[in-house]
Structure formats: C-alpha cells, structure tokens
Amino acid sequence: MNNIEIIIPAYNEEAAISLVIGEIKASLGAEVKVTVVDDGSSDHTAQAAQNSGAQVLSHPYNIGNGASIKTALRHSTSDIVVLMDADGQHAVKEIPRLLERIDKFDMVVGARMNQPLFSGRGIANRIYNAFASYVTQFKVRDLTSGFRAIKRREAAKFIYLLPNEFSYPSALTLAFLKAGRPITYVPVSCNARRAGKSKIRPLKDGVRFLVIITRIAIFFSPLRVFVPLSLASFLLGLFYYLYTFLAYHRFTNMSVFLFSNSVIIFLMGLVSEQINQLRMEKTESG
C-alpha cells in the first residue's frame, strides 16, 4: 500500500498553507499527493494551496474542520491518508514515523509530547485522555490529535459518525476502538503556529468540546457512562434511606425518587447499548 495522500483541512490559512505544502513536497517528494480542503475561507487560502501544487476541494461556506475531513475522504481513492493541520504545528518530518507502522495498524496517531503540562489546553487534554481511556478500556495517549495516518477504506466506514466540528479526531479514535480496529500512538514533536491565530477559543470551546466528548463517549460505550451514574443514584438513595430511617424512622419520597432514577438510568443505558450495536453493524455491513 504505497498510494499515500496528505489531507489538510484549512480555514483562513493563506499565510501558512504554502509553507506547509512546500515542506511536505520537499520531505516526501514532489509527486506526493496533497489535498487541501478550503472550508469557506474569506482569504486566498485556496489559491495559495493550488499555486503550491495541491489539489484543492472547496466548501461554499465554513462548515467545520470535521466536515472538511469527510469531504476529503469521500473524494479520496488513496490506500493511506495522512491527516494534518494547515497551520504548520504538525512537523512534516514526523510523517515517515507514522507511515512506517501503518502496515500493522489501521490507524497511527501522532501523540504530542511537548505540550505544556500545566497550560489550560494541556490539563484539558489529560482529562479527555483519561475519560476516553476509561470508556474504551484502552490507553488513549492523545485523543484530540489531528495528526494521524489511516487506512482510508477503514476510515470511510465511519464518515457518517464523524461530527463537523473540531472533535472529529475523538470520534474517529473511539469509532476505531469500538469496532475493534487496531490503533497505536507514536510520540511526535510539535512546532509553533507559523502564522495567524488559533481558531479554538480555550474557555468557550473547552466547555463545548467536553460536552461533545461526553456525547461521543455515550454514543460508543453507553454502559460505561450510564452504569456508574445508575450506581451513584442507587447508593445515594440507599444512604439517604438509612439516614432518614435512623433519624426519623421513615422511608421518604426522595429515597423513592433516587432508587427509581437509578433504574431508569440503567434502562436508558441498555437501550442506548442496543442502538449502538445496530449502528456498528451498519458500519460493518457497509
């Protein structure tokens, strides 16, 4: 499988995209296929990418980073695709390290090793990784990394599951693990952004991203989320019952509510698990 394509989603990255494409072609060879998906940029990102020798796919307006990946996967005919950002933070020199392990795995993810440990983003990523590791029962080292090599045919099966936002790497990772597809992590270094500003707003997008991660986790492994919530409600009801029985010798409505809530949450988890299995069967049959 030597048919490789580099896919780069881009939104208003006119100042950096030419440098990134130039580095790719200098490192991997001028003949390597580079596809840039211009996500409705208001600058000249598409023109700069095309002038640098990339194939350009354009959205009529800004749909989202994940939507750009889906567009590229639908158009691609390559055996292996490498996903990376347009701002130059992903080091081109690390691409061969991802590709050298793709024969044994369906997805190889670049785990960013030089992130600041005590920055807001670093702390948030560690929380996401821990949550995803719990949900999947697999050591997730960098859930949100957009730098990865993937066997395209396997990734194409999960296109309909991917969100349009920045959270597509998380959904892709959880989908592969849920389907039993082998993935691995390779430690990689990151560069500083070449130009422009990050599109991610730490506070607003951080909260939104946590909600999205929770939603994705519930979608792929609902019982890993619903069972602890059900157990917590049951234990809270039990402790409250013991307290009211010893203090007032009665069984209160609050205890009834907590016990009932525990059963309802558990049943919701079972129903969600069945729905999840039907969706994954659709993926396999497709």
Mean pLDDT of 138-151: 93
Same structural domain for residues 126 and 176?
Answer: yes
* Number of domains composing the chain: 2
Using CA atoms, how far apart are residues 283 and 158, in angstroms rounded to an integer?
Answer: 7
Same structural domain for residues 24 and 146?
Answer: yes
Indicate whether 47 pLDDT > 50.
yes
Domain boundary among 182, 202, 220: 220
Tens of pLDDT along 164-175?
887 889 889 988
Same structural domain for residues 133 and 249?
Answer: no
Residue 118, pLDDT score: 58
Using CA atoms, how far apart are residues 8 and 47, in angstroms rounded to an integer?
Answer: 14
Structural domain harbouring 9: 4-220
Higher pLDDT, 138 or 276: 138
Same structural domain for residues 87 and 228?
Answer: no
CA distances from 158 to 122, 161, 179, 217, 219 (A): 28, 5, 10, 15, 13
Same structural domain for residues 207 and 252?
Answer: no
Same structural domain for residues 228 and 166?
Answer: no
Using CA atoms, how far apart are residues 14 and 10, in angstroms rounded to an integer?
Answer: 9
Same structural domain for residues 139 and 239?
Answer: no
Nearest residue to 162 via CA among 90, 73, 85: 73
Q: What is the pTM of this model?
A: 0.83
Residue 1, pLDDT score: 41
Same structural domain for residues 109 and 154?
Answer: yes
Q: Which residues contact 184 (CB under 8 A, 6 or more apart)?
A: 101, 104, 105, 107, 108, 109
Indicate whether 198 pLDDT > 70.
no
Same structural domain for residues 93 and 230?
Answer: no
